[in-house]
Structure 1
């Protein structure tokens, strides 16, 4: 068969499985029982702004789980934090915890041998979403471009069907402030209560769909033996030990941060909430066929906002339709504030190239537009503890919308065409004026120093305005960038189709 004709395996055996109901005898259940009883029908949320909290909360969940772990991610890096969490997965499985891991194949397929070894454990299943047909020469899947450009961008962590973590973070050093090169300002929600059932339903929906392939079906050429498995575990033990010696990990282990998440003894905001997500059918639908995608579920909240819409997205490509929509909102009296990446802080120049041409229109229409500086990500909300990285470069990765300071959406969806029409996305909508008000207030207090506010001068040229040490500074070209970064962004805007951004 010619290499260009490779196809995915047919008649794949997918044994359906579903979330294990919460068990009142588990440690997690006992720890949170009284809290849930006092807030009948509401869910409890702890916002994970801090990268270290985001890591240790996952670590605590894995260590405390007794019945099940359901893990769904777009990226799971093979770095120090990723290695330690893989080790914790195996330790949980050794205790008899059932583990289901659902990963997107774009980034994780390169680790298929390692994942196949992981799946040899009798209590671990691994599935890959929308996999490539060509396992080694992936570029040959260009003949299936209409299929493989659809990626599963969902992110959720569920332990014992009692606690969950949902938001923008993948698994990797840069998401947990452990990288020495680049770290991301991001946001997850640690949550308990009825919302966990909604997140479990999202996981089950994707796990049992035909876009999720068991790793065994994709790696028929890999026939690991028991000796291979034991060698894998022995090598992982060495990798984990080496990772645990890192200053970042040592300081986390020496702190008491994990104990609070293990017991559920963390500050909580209680509120009604609902889980929203793209249906898996989106992978086979054209944009005009997507009547129930995530955008359509969010649209009513945008339309009904009267006072303010606060938008945080690392990738922001509104398109002409989005610009016109925001213009009408502003004309109707709604204040619109957007925080996104600057050219200096962004990690995807192609997406920035699609965004840059809309800036003047947005500002002229009355949008308050901010771009994050390539540092100070740890101070987004005045939380200054840091144990890990010495990185001087940082970017924005959180995806959050706040409507009228009453309702807050935290999830995986960027505000760009790729998230809206190509990738699958998810999120949780929380009806909490207290959380929404606190969130916006903290950001607005800090924005003048951590970001540039864009404006137009008397000649209609863009300006970047910020405060440093209490003094206002104004720039007339993309701050903290090189000429090559600026040229590259301009060139990409000519060649990269906007609907792929």
Structure 2
């Protein structure tokens, strides 16, 4: 009887599997950079002086990351294209959305391409999509909007594949890309949770490459307009929405006065006011997986893996890897070990168990620490801020590394969405930029290495046992630092589950 029930259940679930809706949509592409755009007038002369090179402004400060996005949106006169994995409906998310709405009211074309992993936003997305100058598409969407959990179960192979890319292109003149999603925790506006992340602002040819990546995703069969997915309840009055939206923003501003004041104190504001923005120039290659990677049982080449492999293979002296979620697998460990044998110094910075926001990923990483240390790979794990007691299973860490950055031989910097784990390699779509600039590579590596002792523990092996060294205090620990019993138990328990290929 039990076998019969299981058979019937499997048939039922299999019969409920969903596919993407077949819809007809009008293709659209980036608009040319308008000569009257304030952004174009400010940056085009600088780009013209550089003979085909691209400009980079590195963004490690979360406040600057938000400020650049807001300023660019507020200066837009032609087009804004925004692509992201997560878009929170919190203070910073609303602030950016308000800038996008105001831009649309000025006649700017706004295209929003969002991954559909978040729920509870259908009414807001439908409202936005009704604005004549705003188009919203969802990547690999859930087709049964009220039954997302069931659809995740019945169509797991499809719905498990997500768009992890992040980009913003304004007036085909300025682009921002990197590891940040849209939300308070990514912009240093959440006092409970903060993600240390890294973006870059791009100028020049790299902007066009970023825009082309956006267009490929926007016009793919996997990006579906919300009008085909969400029932429109009633026509909106844009003027009414504008008034109500403005009232909400005023309330947010009153609540976030201290944060808004801190935005004015960022180095970016000083640089812009004095016209001394420090830019790095070099050849930049924008790499991105094909959107078809989202296909079930996809045989689409993993373009990001191929691009990264090329740089790994060419490394001769020094390799610095920063990845919040680091599950190298046996193949990755062997590859890094081979580099060490060839004389390459390999350093890895990732989250500690106490600092990680995904315990399951740490459980997949733990088993690879010993073989990496035995191979001569240098491992560092971030400390958590004092005053926080992380739970056993949840993601509530006050300060968690979220940047995905690599430095190859002090010459090339990678910044993007790609984590060194199976999910980025084989399941999600990813993107990133390879920046050929000795000056930037030196600055990034020196800046990170100069703070490692303050922000992270260095791992070692003593008689086959792991040790965590706090080089700032001289303390040596013999168990996961700052992680309580239940969090350690949670990580241990998850190691027994066959989930590594999903991490």
CA gap 1:432/1:104 in 2 versus in 1, 3 angstroms? same
Query: Any idea what SS the aligned residue of 2:177 has?
Result: strand
CA gap 1:133/1:262 in 2 versus in 1, 3 angstroms? farther
Q: Tell me the distance in 1 between the aligned counterparts of 2:293 and 2:502.
A: 15
Q: Does 1:39 align with 2:50?
A: yes
Q: Deviations over 1:352-385 (max 9, x none)?
A: 1100111111101110000011139xxxxxxxxx
Q: Deviations over 1:7-49 (max 9, x none)?
A: 4564312110000011222111111122112111001101001
Q: CA deviation at 1:231?
A: 5.3
Q: Deviations over 1:110-130 (max 9, x none)?
A: 201101101111000000000
CA gap 1:416/1:262 in 2 versus in 1, 3 angstroms? farther
The within-5 A match list for 1:101-116 is 101-107=112-118, 109-116=119-126
Moved more, 27-36 or 68-77: 27-36
CA gap 1:253/1:432 in 2 versus in 1, 3 angstroms? closer
CA contact (8 A) 1:310 1:336 kept: yes
Q: Deviations over 1:54-100 (max 9, x none)?
A: 11011101111110000000001011100111111100001111000
Unaligned runs of 5+ in 1: 377-390
Q: Tell me the distance in 1 between the aligned counterparts of 2:352 and 2:273.
A: 37
Q: CA deviation at 1:445?
A: 1.4
Instruction: Please name the residue that 2:162 is paired with.
Output: 151
Aligned equivalent of 2:260, options 243, 250, 255: 250
Query: Any idea what SS the aligned residue of 1:103 has?
Result: strand
CA gap 1:350/1:319 in 2 versus in 1, 3 angstroms? same
CA contact (8 A) 1:59 1:258 kept: no
The within-5 A match list for 1:58-207 is 58-107=69-118, 109-141=119-151, 142-207=153-218
CA contact (8 A) 2:286 2:432 kept: yes
Instruction: Please name the residue that 2:222 is paired with.
Output: 211
Q: Deviations over 1:205-247 (max 9, x none)?
A: 0000000000111113x322235x6654444323211211213
Query: Any idea what SS the aligned residue of 2:87 has?
Result: coil
Q: Tell me the distance in 2 between the aligned counterparts of 1:106 and 1:255.
A: 35
Query: Any idea what SS the aligned residue of 1:495 has?
Result: coil
Q: Cα RMSD over matched residues?
A: 2.0
Instruction: Please name the residue that 1:369 is paired with.
Output: 379
Q: Tell me the distance in 2 between the aligned counterparts of 1:467 and 1:6.
A: 53
Aligned equivalent of 1:321, options 331, 334, 347: 331
Aligned equivalent of 1:452, options 447, 452, 457: 457
CA contact (8 A) 1:69 1:157 kept: yes
Runs of at least 4 residues of structure 1 off by over 6 A? none
Instruction: Please name the residue that 2:493 is paired with.
Output: 491
Q: CA deviation at 1:328?
A: 0.9
Q: CA deviation at 1:265?
A: 4.9
Unaligned runs of 5+ in 2: 1-11, 387-395
Q: Deviations over 1:116-145 (max 9, x none)?
A: 101111000000000112211211111111
Q: Tell me the distance in 1 between the aligned counterparts of 2:125 and 2:288.
A: 26
CA contact (8 A) 2:158 2:296 kept: no
Q: CA deviation at 1:259?
A: 7.6
Q: CA deviation at 1:252?
A: 4.3
The within-5 A match list for 1:331-480 is 331-375=341-385, 393-458=398-463, 460-468=464-472, 471-480=473-482
Q: CA deviation at 1:258?
A: 4.8
CA contact (8 A) 2:63 2:263 kept: no
CA contact (8 A) 1:44 1:191 kept: yes
Q: TM-score of the superposition, structure 2-length normalised?
A: 0.91
Q: Tell me the distance in 2 between the aligned counterparts of 1:262 and 1:418.
A: 42
Q: CA deviation at 1:292?
A: 4.4
Query: Any idea what SS the aligned residue of 1:272 has?
Result: strand
CA gap 1:59/1:260 in 2 versus in 1, 3 angstroms? farther
Query: Any idea what SS the aligned residue of 1:479 has?
Result: coil
Instruction: Please name the residue that 1:379 is paired with.
Output: none
Query: Any idea what SS the aligned residue of 1:336 has?
Result: strand
Q: Tell me the distance in 1 between the aligned counterparts of 2:161 and 2:397.
A: 33
Which structure has more relative contact order (CA 8 Å, sep 6+)? It is: 1
Q: Deviations over 1:285-317 (max 9, x none)?
A: 647x34342101111110010101110000000
CA contact (8 A) 1:31 1:263 kept: no
Q: Does 1:296 align with 2:298?
A: no
CA gap 1:282/1:66 in 2 versus in 1, 3 angstroms? same
Instruction: Please name the residue that 1:240 is paired with.
Output: 249
CA contact (8 A) 1:117 1:224 kept: no
CA gap 1:253/1:479 in 2 versus in 1, 3 angstroms? closer
